[in-house]
Amino acid sequence: MKDQIKKSQDPENDSMKITVTKNGPYIATGGVPIVVAEICNDNEGYCRTWKIVDRYPVREECALCRCGHSENRPFCDGTHAKTRFNGTETAGNEPYLSHPEIIRGPELELTDYHELCVHARFCMRAGGIWNLTEQSGIPEARDTAIEEACNCPSGRLVIRDRRSEELVEPVLEKSIVVIEYPAKGEHGPLWVRGEIPVVSADGKPYTVRNRVTLCRCGKSHNKPFCDGSHVQH
Ligand code: SF4
Ligand code: FES
């Protein structure tokens, strides 16, 4: 778990960027690796690990579908123009991020940004991360809470070590991970990892975070970010 207590840093790759285009795809520049990963369940059916199943050849620039209708996903094939995709960005930069729920346990503090959940469901095992945080005086509960927070792709769940006051963030390869969840037949969002900047179609930068998830089904009400709308209830 020790390596998870460091912050992600990769100064050599800071030319990478993702730009949202108006009613069109995301343009990833700077040679961002594009990887496909599946959510794997444990024997009890809880989401437990990530398995990388594919890597695309690295290109200086590529266009990634955000309307959900490309025949060449995860890449854009121009279908958004024919379907008149409305990709209006509705995520303000900050307001909801400034009102997270804070849960304090003896060892850990959990910051929970509800609106960012993409329903990847890593946080539900062993009684759930909220209970585990409250029981974080127990080493096993503490370790499981950290593992669950670090597996959360969207960055909804962020853990702080109350002794050191440091955030406990996973070290993530700068990359875009195309999330697939075969057990549920779900095609999840694009998981942007390692503090790659995301810029809106009108040139405004969103807050840079170690983990963010971008909508790729076209249905999110918090575009460009995923709000879990791809999950059929
Ligand atoms: S995105 Fe994070 S908070 Fe939402 S279900 Fe997945 S692990 Fe839990
Ligand atoms: S954004 Fe171009 S096909 Fe989906």
* Cβ-contact 162, 106 below 8 angstroms: yes
Read off the pLDDT of residues 59-105 as tens digits, 9 standing for 90 and up.
Answer: 999 999 999 999 999 999 999 999 999 999 998 766 556 678 999 99
Element (H, E) at 1: none
Average pLDDT over residues 178-206: 95
- Of the candidates 173, 174, 149, the residue with the CA atom closest to the CA atom of residue 161: 149
Residue 220 belongs to some domain of the structure: no
Residue 171 belongs to some domain of the structure: yes
% of the chain surpassing 90 pLDDT: 83
Residue 219 belongs to some domain of the structure: no
Cα 59 from Cα 68, distance rounded (Å): 22
Q: Could you say which ligand is closest to the alpha carbon of residue 22?
A: 2
Amino acid at 44: E
Q: Could you say which ligand is closest to the alpha carbon of residue 148?
A: 1
175 confidence band (pLDDT: 50, 70, 90)? very high
Cα 41 from Cα 155, distance rounded (Å): 20
Atom of ligand 2 nearest to the CA of 69: 4
Residue 6 has pLDDT above 60, yes or no: no
| CB neighbours of residue 146 within 10 Å | 23
147 confidence band (pLDDT: 50, 70, 90)? very high
Cα 136 from Cα 130, distance rounded (Å): 10
Residue 31 belongs to some domain of the structure: yes
What pLDDT is recorded for position 114?
85
Residue 33 has pLDDT above 70, yes or no: yes
Residue 142 belongs to some domain of the structure: yes
Ligand 2 and 66: CB distance under 6 A: yes
What pLDDT is recorded for position 231?
87
Residue 232 belongs to some domain of the structure: no
Residue 228 belongs to some domain of the structure: no
Residue 98 belongs to some domain of the structure: yes
Distance 32 CA to ligand 1 centre (A): 24
Could you tell me the residue range of the domain that residue 196 belongs to? 2-214
Nearest CA residue ID for atom 4, ligand 1: 117
Q: For residue 74, what are its two tokens? A: 């995860």
Q: How many domains does the chain contain in total?
A: 1
